[in-house]
């Protein structure tokens, strides 16, 4: 006869007796029973591996062939982790995910409000869709709702004002001049309350809000008023920003080339990566003096992306510039219009990107403007150059250009020989 099965009460006594003398810690569990299949499978879908050292054998075990007991599942739940471990796990989440975690329980909501957890503040990461329970404002029909996005921005701003975050990365894309949005007040309040002494990356698009449709019926006078007002607001905010963030190393910003803004930019001595985009059609004129002052002040600059548009009324739409920097390794002027390099003094420059056919037809017809060949400029001023517009340069290839490099020079060089060949192809001249 088959042996009688032990009753449920007896089995509970056996399990209770076998657990005596243990401290309940993870180290007291034998290695063969420390991690069961269901536990490995469950925690691998979460952030638990960040604080748990699983061997390759434990990860490859088949969860279907292992026993699942209450003791193994309850070894170390997330709620019993130390506070520092929880914060370390949350530090890998984005701000929207942190906001969702705050809704789990009171304890999580309290811990996630630690200032150093919000080291990355991105206003543009907020959703542009409609709020689920928004009974105020206009009727929402479009997938992008500026009314609800503005509510999110102000709500997020109030939250940041309360916790005073320690910020390392900052990003926004907001029009600072719109009369009803008042996004300039949001940015100014953030600069006054947040701790920016450790800020290293900033991407500040202050000229537009993607969620707002353009004003179709706006007069030219109103447009110019907002244009000039946006410039003044930016100058004030940028001067304050530079004072509060001395450690910044990467900056992406639409830039207005006024003397005041250039002086503020030159105070960021630790800048290594700089992207200066075009602000608008009526931007201040970019001169050689601006470029010289900028290169002399930013002694640690390694990567520079410049977007400058030269008006067609200036010298036929083409201006020549000299660039001197001992630290620069990457230069991108492919977004410029009418910008040409006359002289280089960049001994460490490795990568150069230029605009294709930066001239206009009026320049091709001009016989008075004589520009140097780009090959000669690079040979003299950039001896370490390795790549031009994605084309890898071999040794001494600039002295005796191969056919592929000659074709590339026909599209980027403005000397008489190269632009004549390209002009015949484009305009039949």
Give the three-state DSSP class for 250.
strand
Establish if 55 belongs to a structural domain.
Answer: yes
Closest CA to 334 of 285, 404, 388: 388
Task: Report, in angstroms and rounded to the nearest whole number, the Rg of the chain calculated over CA atoms.
Answer: 31
Calpha distance 236→222 (Å, rounded): 21
Residue/partner pairs of 40-43 with CB below 8 Å, 24 or more apart:
42/73
Helix (H) or strand (E) holding 269: none
Calpha distance 366→99 (Å, rounded): 61
Sign, CA dihedral 15-21-24-26, equals negative
Helix (H) or strand (E) holding 371: none
Tokens of 176: 């600072």
Return the pLDDT at 43: 30
CB neighbours of 93 closer than 8 A, spacing ≥ 6? 101
Q: Which residues pair with 351 in a beta bridge?
A: 330, 387
Establish if 354 belongs to a structural domain.
Answer: no
Domain count, the chain: 1
Tokens of 407: 């074709």
What's this model's pTM, rounded to 2 decimal places?
Answer: 0.73
Give the three-state DSSP class for 352.
strand
Establish if 196 belongs to a structural domain.
Answer: no
Domain that holds residue 50: 34-64+73-81
Compute CA 36 distance to the chain's CA centroid, rounded to the nearest angstrom. Answer: 41
Angle, helices 416-427 vs 403-412, to 10°: value is: 80
Calpha distance 63→68 (Å, rounded): 9
Report the relative pairing of strands 387-388 and 391-392 from DSSP bridges: antiparallel
Closest CA to 205 of 148, 268, 277, 274: 277
Give the three-state DSSP class for 239.
helix
Establish if 332 belongs to a structural domain.
Answer: no
The residue written with tokens 């020079």 in the block is 409
Establish if 56 belongs to a structural domain.
Answer: yes
How crowded is residue 409: how many other Cβ atoms within 10 Å of its Cβ? 21
* Alpha-carbon separation of residue 355 from 209, 314, 366, 378 (angstroms): 28, 19, 20, 16
- Phi/psi for 190 (5° steps) reads -65, -45
Return the pLDDT at 369: 59
Closest CA to 372 of 411, 337, 414: 414
Establish if 47 belongs to a structural domain.
Answer: yes
Angle, helices 183-193 vs 220-244, to 10°: value is: 10
Query: What size, in residues, is the chain?
Result: 429
Mean pLDDT, 10 residues at a time, over the chain (429 residues)?
Answer: 48 44 38 36 32 34 42 63 87 88 87 90 86 60 77 91 92 86 90 92 88 70 81 91 92 90 92 89 79 92 89 68 92 87 90 77 51 84 88 78 81 74 44
Tokens of 135: 């009974």
Establish if 57 belongs to a structural domain.
Answer: yes
Please, are residues 166 and 116 in contact by the beta-carbon 8 Å criterion?
yes
Q: 128 exposed, middle or buried (CB, 10 Å; 0-12, 13-18, 19+)?
A: middle
Establish if 376 belongs to a structural domain.
Answer: no
């Amino acid at each position: 006869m088959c042996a009688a099965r032990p009753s449920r009460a007896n089995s509970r006594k056996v399990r209770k007796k076998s657990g005596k003398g243990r401290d309940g810690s993870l180290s007291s569990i034998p290695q063969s029973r420390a991690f069961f299949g269901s536990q490995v499978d469950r925690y691998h879908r979460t952030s638990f591996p960040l604080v748990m050292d699983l061997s390759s054998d434990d990860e490859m075990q088949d969860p279907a062939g292992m026993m699942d007991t209450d003791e193994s599942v309850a070894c170390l739940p997330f709620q019993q982790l130390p506070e520092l471990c929880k914060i370390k796990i949350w530090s890998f989440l984005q701000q929207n995910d942190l906001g969702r975690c705050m809704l789990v329980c009171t304890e999580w909501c309290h811990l996630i409000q630690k200032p150093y957890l919000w080291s990355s503040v991105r206003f543009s990461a907020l959703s542009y869709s409609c709020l689920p329970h928004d009974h105020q404002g206009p009727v929402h029909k479009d997938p992008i709702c500026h009314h609800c996005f503005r509510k999110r921005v102000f709500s997020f701003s109030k939250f940041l004002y309360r916790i005073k975050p320690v910020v390392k990365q900052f990003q926004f894309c907001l029009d600072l001049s719109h009369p009803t949005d008042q996004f300039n007040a949001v940015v100014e309040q953030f600069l006054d309350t947040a701790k920016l002494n450790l800020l290293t990356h900033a991407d500040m698009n202050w000229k537009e809000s993607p969620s707002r449709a353009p004003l179709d019926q706006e007069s030219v006078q109103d447009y110019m008023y907002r244009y000039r007002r946006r410039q003044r607001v930016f100058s004030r905010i940028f001067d304050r920003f530079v004072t509060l963030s001395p450690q910044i190393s990467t900056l992406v910003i639409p830039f207005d080339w006024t003397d005041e803004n250039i002086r503020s930019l030159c105070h960021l001595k630790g800048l290594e990566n700089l992207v200066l985009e075009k602000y608008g059609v009526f931007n201040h004129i970019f001169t050689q003096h601006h470029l010289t002052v900028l290169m002399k002040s930013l002694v640690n600059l390694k990567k520079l992306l410049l977007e400058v548009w030269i008006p067609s009324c200036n010298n036929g739409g083409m201006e020549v510039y000299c660039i001197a920097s001992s630290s620069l390794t990457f230069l991108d002027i492919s977004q410029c219009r009418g910008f040409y390099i006359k002289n280089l003094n960049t001994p460490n420059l490795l990568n150069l990107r230029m605009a294709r056919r930066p001239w206009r037809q009026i320049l091709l017809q001009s016989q008075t403007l004589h520009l140097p060949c780009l090959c000669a400029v690079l040979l003299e001023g950039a001896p370490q150059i390795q790549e031009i517009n994605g084309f890898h340069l071999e040794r001494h290839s600039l002295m005796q250009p191969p056919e592929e490099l000659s074709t590339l020079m026909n599209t980027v060089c403005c000397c008489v020989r190269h632009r004549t060949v390209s002009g015949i192809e484009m305009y039949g001249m």
